[in-house]
Structure 1
Amino acid sequence: MKKRTFLKNLALSGLAGSASFQALAKTVDAYAHIPAEKLASDEGFWRKIRDGYRLKPDYINLENGYYCFIPKEILESYIETIREINFQGSWYFRTVQWDNKDKAAARLAEMFGGSPDEIAITRNATESLDIIISGYPWQKGDEAIFAHQDYGSIKNMFELASRRYGIINKIVDIPNHPKSDEEIVKIYENAITSKTKLIMVSHMINITGQILPVKKICEMAHKHGVEVMLDGAHCIAHFDFKIDELGCDYYACSLHKWLSVPLGAGLLYTKKEKINQIWPLMAPYELDHTNIKNLNHTGTHPVATDLAVNYAIDYYNKIGPKRKEERLRYLQRYWSDQVRNMPGIVLNTPKDPARSCGIANVGIKGMDPSVMAKTLLEKHRIYTVGIEYAGVNGCRITPNIYTTPEELDTFVKALMEMTKA
């Protein structure tokens, strides 16, 4: 293939031609007959997947929630794309960059829900949410609802909107161990008044891993004429769902997390009929697009990351959405079930398997979370993050598909020692 035409086709070619991906495909295909629930604990399979990751020997990494670094099957193609774009230079930017970005966005829509003209590639979930909050057609006295447990900088964006537009922010509390979906739905419903315009809900609460009944919340809110924006920063490629089946008006995600796209890619879904009511955060080259392009202009940016979305989707598809979901849930329950009733231990994540997946939060009574995280790293060579925020005191534990039960056994043993200290 001529160099001049290489990147014209790159957005659709994906990983299929790389040697590492062909090896991955053979591995996965050999286990295709095993149901996802059973494969979740088949360490022979997952050790072969682990071989695709370059892992630091310094510590056991249980902090994948911030950034799920890239397996070699994606990384090799991404680096080659950077080289090729550097070779093509301005020609690429002035010819095919937008077509290729559109194709990547269309693949995201096909994979995760929504139509291509409702999905934009942003830089991260924060930017996606800020686009909606800053561009919403607020009037003085309008009300917004969100939770204490939501992401800090997004709550601050609502505060900026309050200062700028005179809106009123109403903040609710979500229990770590709800009795039912209805309990959570009622918390949001009780905060609604005739002035409420927008509710932000975490699809998965980032500090505990609790999955909220967002579809039921959306149905309730719409009965009151209120729009819903979902913060799904941790959800896409973590567990299997379709955005447009949730009933939300807006959805945001960071693709560098569980989809393992290189840093610099996020997703924004805006329901088609809502697009034109949102003011762009940055003006596009051409004003007044009738689709999502009106909202996600960022100027010259790392276009190789846009193309790497394709590689990440190929990898995710080959692993299999249900296989990955079952593996992550299995790993979380592997360690959390062992310590849930342990004296001195506090689990800040619901026991019901449907209310969580790979992320959970655990604390030790009487121990500051920062001390807990420091002890885990310095004494037990386990890296995680301490959280003391919105009624949650503990360390967030986020394994990835490459994590082994033996590593989690080491973590459980460390907790046992620390509770006796």
Structure 2
Amino acid sequence: MPENTLRAHDETFWETFVGRYDVDADGPLNLENGYFGRMSRTVVEEYQRNIELVNRGNSFYVRQQFDQEHGEAIRREVAQLIHAPASTVTLANNAVDALQTLIRNYNKLKPGDQVLISDVEYESVKSAMRWLARQRGAEVVELVHPHPASFDALVGTYREAFIRYPRLKLMALTYVNHLTGLVMPVQAIAETAREFGVDIILDGAHALGQIDFNLKKLGIEFAGFNLQKWLGGPLALGFLYIAPHRLADIDPDMDESHYPPTDIRSRTPHSTPNIPALLTLPLVFEEHRALGGASAKGARLCHLRDLWVSAVRDVPGIEVMTPDDRRLYCGITSMRFAHQPDQQAMADRLLEEHGIFTVVRKTSVGLCIRITPGLITLGRDIERLTRALTDLSRI
């Protein structure tokens, strides 16, 4: 059995690991870890030290040290997360900021072209694509993926769209669907898109930190990411990626002039960032690597997911929305009570009667309850979840 798989099943290790985090002892069991990640105690302490450092040193430190040295060292470390040169990434406030920047500055559209979005994209990404189409005189094509999903059906849906809409030039693609946790077959879709000359802007918000990937191998040239979800960094940190040979296809953001057009940093607004948070990232990355990186985190999260899904998949009255094809899921999975008209009411009962916090999401086939374990979720927590779901399924 691979080392990461062995570690993923080692409850003794994870019992000890939980001790690195501060948790509200009186709060509910949090199975809504998809919103943002929890910082370890040592990261919180480092963050506080950096707040004090920047407050003491003020503009002298920022202009003389951070701007000239420390900031660039951090950017190099960020780039290493995706196995890319520092010259291909620039920092942003979060994945949405990064993706909106890529979308609004994409300059290859002309009147009459088409852009593609689907039902699994984040709402802010869909609205940005619609805005871009209006500004460029392009048409928006919207897909609804079949449910239940399969690898071949997902890829086939895009191939059919590329054939049916020959004027397509740009599409949004979400690596990990925030609604159900469905992992899209990015490499296969990108290969198909390339056949038809369609560019992809990838939303990697939920992928970074729980899926080990290589953008070049995936065939992705534009992407946006979060550092606050599965990396466990402070809030309001993200970055965007542009392949070196595609930089000219994304305009400097609103004629941003602090950097030359040949520098990717001109593709985001120049402003004062959250410097203490950025200074905390080296420790965040150190702890991420020490645990085993995305492959180790992903193995643990998938193990926790498999525990509850295997226990309730065949329970009458419960429908698991995410397929069991290992290529198509990660730690996030959604379900619904098949005979209940109000999923929000059921999520409320999970919280009120069982002390388990989840979140309801709206999909193309109705509302569902998204269940997202975190790295401090233990096997006994999943047993508690399965008992609660089974109990509520009898109502």
Instruction: Bin the TM-score by the shorter chain.
Output: over 0.9
Q: In the TM superposition, what is the alpha-carbon distance from 1:291 to its structure 2 partner?
A: 2.5
Q: Is the 8 A contact 1:282 1:298 kept in 2?
A: no
* Partner residue of 2:327 out of 348, 354, 357: 354
Q: Is the 8 A contact 2:301 2:331 kept in 1?
A: yes
Partners of 2:249 and 2:23 lie apart in 1 by 46
Q: Is the 8 A contact 1:369 1:387 kept in 2?
A: no
What is the one-letter code of the residue matched to 2:347? A
Q: Deviations over 1:30-65 (max 9, x none)?
A: xxx982111111111011110111112320000010
Correspondence list, 1:378-389, <5 A: 378-389=352-363
Q: Deviations over 1:385-417 (max 9, x none)?
A: 011232253111111111011111111111111
For residue 194 of structure 1, what is the aligned residue in structure 2?
166
Pair 1:148-2:119 in alignment = yes
Pair 1:372-2:346 in alignment = yes
For residue 305 of structure 2, what is the aligned residue in structure 1?
332
Q: Deviations over 1:210-233 (max 9, x none)?
A: 111101111111121111111111
Q: Is the 8 A contact 2:257 2:266 kept in 1?
A: no
Partners of 2:65 and 2:125 lie apart in 1 by 34
* Partner residue of 1:62 out of 31, 34, 38: 31
Partners of 2:371 and 2:257 lie apart in 1 by 43
Partners of 1:174 and 1:326 lie apart in 2 by 27
Partners of 1:139 and 1:354 lie apart in 2 by 36
For residue 420 of structure 1, what is the aligned residue in structure 2?
394
For residue 124 of structure 1, what is the aligned residue in structure 2?
94
For residue 171 of structure 1, what is the aligned residue in structure 2?
142
Q: Is the 8 A contact 1:65 1:257 kept in 2?
A: yes
Partners of 1:101 and 1:174 lie apart in 2 by 41
Q: In the TM superposition, what is the alpha-carbon distance from 1:339 to its structure 2 partner?
A: 0.3
- CA pair 290-405 structure 1, distance change in 2 beyond 3 A: same
What is the one-letter code of the residue matched to 2:4? A
The 3-state SS of whatever aligns with 2:152 is helix
For residue 231 of structure 1, what is the aligned residue in structure 2?
203
The 3-state SS of whatever aligns with 2:156 is helix
What is the one-letter code of the residue matched to 2:373? P
What is the one-letter code of the residue matched to 1:213? P
What is the one-letter code of the residue matched to 1:153? S
Q: Deviations over 1:291-339 (max 9, x none)?
A: 3111123411211122222121111000112221211110000111100
* Partner residue of 1:53 out of 21, 27, 30: 21
Q: Is the 8 A contact 2:180 2:332 kept in 1?
A: yes
Pair 1:159-2:133 in alignment = no
TM-score normalised by structure 2 residue count? 0.94
Correspondence list, 1:21-32, <5 A: none
Partners of 1:207 and 1:263 lie apart in 2 by 21
Deviates further, 34-43 or 398-407 = 34-43
Partners of 1:411 and 1:306 lie apart in 2 by 36
What is the one-letter code of the residue matched to 2:297? K
Compute the RMSD of aligned alpha carbons: 1.7
What is the one-letter code of the residue matched to 1:77? E
Q: In the TM superposition, what is the alpha-carbon distance from 1:163 to its structure 2 partner?
A: 2.6
Pair 1:136-2:106 in alignment = yes
Q: Is the 8 A contact 1:131 1:280 kept in 2?
A: no
- CA pair 241-384 structure 1, distance change in 2 beyond 3 A: same
What is the one-letter code of the residue matched to 2:339? G
Q: Is the 8 A contact 1:134 1:161 kept in 2?
A: yes
What is the one-letter code of the residue matched to 1:87? R
Q: Is the 8 A contact 1:145 1:188 kept in 2?
A: no
Q: Is the 8 A contact 1:121 1:306 kept in 2?
A: no
Q: In the TM superposition, what is the alpha-carbon distance from 1:283 to its structure 2 partner?
A: 4.6
Partners of 1:291 and 1:176 lie apart in 2 by 43
Partners of 1:184 and 1:356 lie apart in 2 by 13
- CA pair 297-233 structure 1, distance change in 2 beyond 3 A: same
Pair 1:44-2:44 in alignment = no
Partners of 1:74 and 1:176 lie apart in 2 by 40
The 3-state SS of whatever aligns with 1:171 is strand
Q: In the TM superposition, what is the alpha-carbon distance from 1:277 to its structure 2 partner?
A: 2.1
Number of residue pairs the alignment of both structures matches: 388
Structure 2 residue runs without a partner (length 5+): none
Q: In the TM superposition, what is the alpha-carbon distance from 1:279 to its structure 2 partner?
A: 2.1
Partners of 2:366 and 2:14 lie apart in 1 by 32
Give every structure 1 segment of 4 or more consecutive aligned residues whose post-TM-superposition deviation is greater than 4 Å.
Answer: none
Q: Is the 8 A contact 1:176 1:210 kept in 2?
A: no
Q: Is the 8 A contact 1:372 1:386 kept in 2?
A: no
- CA pair 107-320 structure 1, distance change in 2 beyond 3 A: same
Q: Deviations over 1:97-138 (max 9, x none)?
A: 233222212112223222211111111110111011111113
For residue 176 of structure 2, what is the aligned residue in structure 1?
204
Identity among equivalent pairs (%): 27
The 3-state SS of whatever aligns with 2:81 is helix
Partners of 1:387 and 1:82 lie apart in 2 by 35
Q: Is the 8 A contact 1:73 1:315 kept in 2?
A: no
Structure 1 residue runs without a partner (length 5+): 1-32
